[in-house]
Structure 1
Amino acid sequence: MTEAAAQDRGPLLETPRLRLRPWRVSEAGVLRELWSERDPRVPPHRRIDAQGRPTLDELEDSIRANRPSSVGLLAIERKAIPGVIGYCGLVASGRGTAGEPELAFELLRQTWGCGYATEAAWVVLDWARSSGYEQLWATVWDWNTASRRVLAKVGFTETDRREVHRDIGTTLFTRRQL
């Protein structure tokens, strides 16, 4: 599948500063950089392992199959500066209520603190609403104060549900009505 055909497989969302669109195979390096930048408290299966996996080739294959992580995760690029800086979108992880996708986002460290995650989340919430979803949920580690702040800014509230992981922290479950 060509890069252009891959780009035509999903939505194009825009904000004044950002464009969210399907991933291109040539951007697999950004996904790998995101994997390598993850906090050491993130579970091992979500970080580069001792064998160097996922490899760049595996991530390229994943994009070709339209699975950067899950259907609905869109590459984020700034309109004024070339290059992908992360992702934002909806995933069906199976951890929440049936028919309610999870909001997910992750950005390269060099772009943290600029409001891009919040801006991307707002446009994805609008996309979800226009797609007929009435409620979304999101999970976040208790120690991830920056992501908790983004979720609060876009209207997510914590629920009573938590998953405690002795070695890596507690997963908090949040919800938002659309």
Structure 2
Amino acid sequence: MGVLSARGPEIVLETERLRLRPWRVAEALVHRTLWTERDPRVPAHRRIDADGRPTLEDVEGWIRDGSRAGSLGLLATELKATGEVVGYCGLIDGALGPDEPELAFELLRRTWGAGYATEAAGAVVGWARESGHARLWATVRDWNVASRRVLAKVGLVETARVEPDHVHGDVLFMTRGL
């Protein structure tokens, strides 16, 4: 599904319709928009707070210094046909540490239903395999049926591990051997 290519020091993954690559500061508004579109059931620390944080300037700073990218990388997801960035997909240090990374993705609502999340996630699964990881994890809220479907389509299965959360919805752990 994905093609891994190194362009200088950065990772670029390509699929038929998508290019996954490092974020650019000029794309901070897209990243911040993802924060504004999050479901109200998402924990408060992952949504815009009462003071309007993170601000656009905060997000620009994160992109500039890489402080919020995770040690493995959340890549901007760009439509190859237009160059428009519509979200992110990548690997982060998960609950089990860097040797067993977590797959994470988020797309702008207006792009939902087009198969982009599945396409991007498939490319990242390939990247994880080619990088030598033996297993990949994902965490997802029990109410997030669409994301659970994407994860199942790229081969992750639910485990017995669940972190109960009566306020925001239980966190399900999904995994896949590579």
TM over 0.5: yes
- TM-superposed deviation, 1:69: 4.0
**Unaligned runs of at least 5 residues, structure 1:** 1-6
Identity over the aligned pairs, expressed in percent? 61
Q: TM-score of the superposition, structure 1-length normalised?
A: 0.92
Instruction: Give the stretch that moved more between structures: 103-112 or 163-172.
Output: 163-172
Query: Is 1:85 the counterpart of 2:81 in the alignment?
Result: no
Q: How does 1:99-114 map to 2 (within 5 A)?
A: 99-114=99-114
RMSD, aligned α-carbons: 1.4
**Unaligned runs of at least 5 residues, structure 2:** 1-6
Residue 12 of structure 1 corresponds to which residue in structure 2?
12
CA contact (8 A) 1:142 1:172 kept: yes
Instruction: Give the stretch that moved more between structures: 165-174 or 33-42.
Output: 165-174
Q: Distance in 2 between matches of 1:141 and 1:69?
A: 21
Report the secondary structure of 1:54's partner residue. Answer: coil
Residue 4 of structure 1 corresponds to which residue in structure 2?
none
Cα gap change, 1:98 to 1:28, in 2 (>3 Å): closer
- TM-superposed deviation, 1:67: 3.4
Q: TM-score of the superposition, structure 2-length normalised?
A: 0.92
- Which letter maps to 1:82? G
Q: Distance in 1 between matches of 2:8 and 2:23?
A: 10
- TM-superposed deviation, 1:84: 0.5
Aligned length: 171
List structure 1 runs of 4+ shifted beyond 4 angstroms: none
Report the secondary structure of 1:143's partner residue. Answer: coil
Q: How does 1:1-178 map to 2 (within 5 A)?
A: 9-71=9-71, 72-93=73-94, 95-96=95-96, 99-178=99-178
- Which letter maps to 1:92? D
Q: Distance in 1 between matches of 2:98 and 2:78?
A: 31
More strand by share: 2
